[in-house]
Amino acid sequence: MSSVEFWESKSLEEMTTVEWESICDGCGKCCLHSFIDSDDEHFESTDVLRDGEELLYTDVICQYSDINTGGCTRYAERQTLVPSCVQLTKDNLKDIFFMPLSCSYRRLHEGRGLASWHPLKHDGSKKAMHKAGISIKDKVVLETSVNLEEDFEDHIVTWPEHDAD
């Protein structure tokens, strides 16, 4: 008799706080600096990509990220230390266009299920995720070591768009 895992039987909205937090795969991609490239001269902040706009990722990551594990070294304080740090909630989940395609919250929200590499499917281990090339491991530089305003174009990358299965 096979048991059904909570992420297969509950919607994101139905999950407990502990279940919700465990859906995060800890890849670290959400902590990358990203920008919206727009053809519009009068760009305004948005919660959706509009025609002529493109989300660009960089390999530059928040100074509080652990570049080996993808975790946040100051998780409990992250929104105080970095006011622009977005906390994904059940209320703002619909506005996650800026999250990478591999984001487990996004995958579940879009009905794609958890990927085979997700740590929940590997007793909490991130090895399969790292092997699949999903995480930030060995791919990033801390924001404190670059001048992103001057060297922006040197740091644009496409690997954060990668998703597996």
Average pLDDT over residues 33-57: 71
pLDDT at 40: 62
Q: How far apart are CA 150 and CA 17, in angstroms?
A: 41
Residue 64 identity? Y
For the segment 11-27, what is each residue's pLDDT rounded down to a tens digit?
999 999 999 999 999 99
Q: How confident is the model at residue 55 (pLDDT cuts 50, 70, 90)?
A: confident
For the segment 75-128, what is each residue's pLDDT rounded down to a tens digit?
899 999 998 888 888 888 887 777 899 999 999 999 999 999 999 999 999 999
Report yes or no: 144 and 82 within 8 Å, Cβ to Cβ.
no
Q: How far apart are CA 78 and CA 126, in angstroms?
A: 22
